[in-house]
Amino acid sequence: MKTVKRSIGTLALAATMILTISCKDANQKEATAAMDNEAQQETTKNSGDIAMNDSQESSSEVILKDYFNLKDALVNDDQAKAKDLGMTLTTSLKSFDVSNYSESEQTELKDIIEDATEHAEHIAKSEIKHQREHFKTLSKDMTDMVAITGTEVKLYEQFCPMYDGGTAWLSTKEEVRNPYYGSQMLKCGKVQREIN
């Protein structure tokens, strides 16, 4: 009898927990949908701006711009903003048109975009510690993307030896502002490579 009671208790508790989680999810989804809309509008606006130049380049430039905004949010320890920007980046990644690249480049780019999208999506729904973990791999994806697409902007690949056994990221500025530690260790790191 005791076991039955315990089982029923367990079940009730499990059900309550799951219910709570589901409700939270529903709220999140609504919020996400709203943000998605905004993000989409913003992307359309942005690609409109740059479409004057080369339409092939524009998309990877938009992606980079979203990435740098996201990096700045992490530098500023701003989890909520990073969340929004993760969503914005997700949208621009998904709308990246790779058709102008060679076949082998397309395969590589699609792989990079798929991976980066997953990290951006996680950043859009995580706490800051997780956001930074995903930002690490996202940075690697962005670096590999730039190796194929190139960029008009001068970039600095920066490196922090302390975070997770040594971690790199990209920046448009030479001075180091660390997105993995934020205010905790703002200037930890060095420029390890210049791109362009």
Token couple for 122: 């996680």
Asked whether 59 and 97 are in contact (CB, 8 A), the reply is yes
Question: Which of 141, 169, 177, 178: binder of other proteins (CB under 8 A)?
Answer: 141
Q: For the purposes of burial, counting CB atoms within 10 Å of the CB of 174, is it exposed (0-12), middle (13-18) or buried (19 or more)?
A: exposed
Token couple for 82: 């990073």
Sketch the per residue contact string, 11 through 40, with other proteins: x for CB under 8 A, - otherwise.
x-xxx-xxx-xx------------------
Report, in Å, the least distance between residue 152 CB and other proteins.
25
Question: Which of 63, 85, 112, 170: binder of other proteins (CB under 8 A)?
Answer: 112
Report, in Å, the least distance between residue 136 CB and other proteins.
8
* 10 binds other proteins per the rule CB under 8 A: yes
Kindly determine how many residues on this chain lie close enough to bind other proteins according to the rule CB under 8 A. Answer: 20
Phi then psi for residue 100, to 5 deg, are: -85, 0
Question: Which of 42, 72, 115, 157: binder of other proteins (CB under 8 A)?
Answer: 115
Question: Which of 36, 42, 72, 118: binder of other proteins (CB under 8 A)?
Answer: 118
Please identify, among the stretches 54-62, 113-121, 145-153, 183-191, the one whose residues bind other proteins according to the rule CB under 8 A. Answer: 113-121
Report, in Å, the least distance between residue 50 CB and other proteins.
27
Distances (CA, A) of 129 to 61, 135, 146, 195: 27, 10, 26, 28
Token couple for 75: 């530098």
DSSP 102-135: -HHHHHHHHHHHHHHHHHHHHHTTS-HHHHHHHH
The helix (H) or strand (E) run that includes residue 156 is strand 155-160
DSSP, collapsed to helix, strand or coil, labels residue 77 as: coil
* 66 binds other proteins per the rule CB under 8 A: no
**Rounded CA separation 76/71 (Å):** 9
Nearer residue to other proteins within complex by CB, 3 or 175: 3
Question: Which of 133, 145, 177, 180: binder of other proteins (CB under 8 A)?
Answer: 133
Q: Which residues lie near other proteins (CB under 8 A)?
A: 7, 10-11, 13-15, 17-19, 21-22, 111-112, 114-115, 118-119, 133, 137, 141
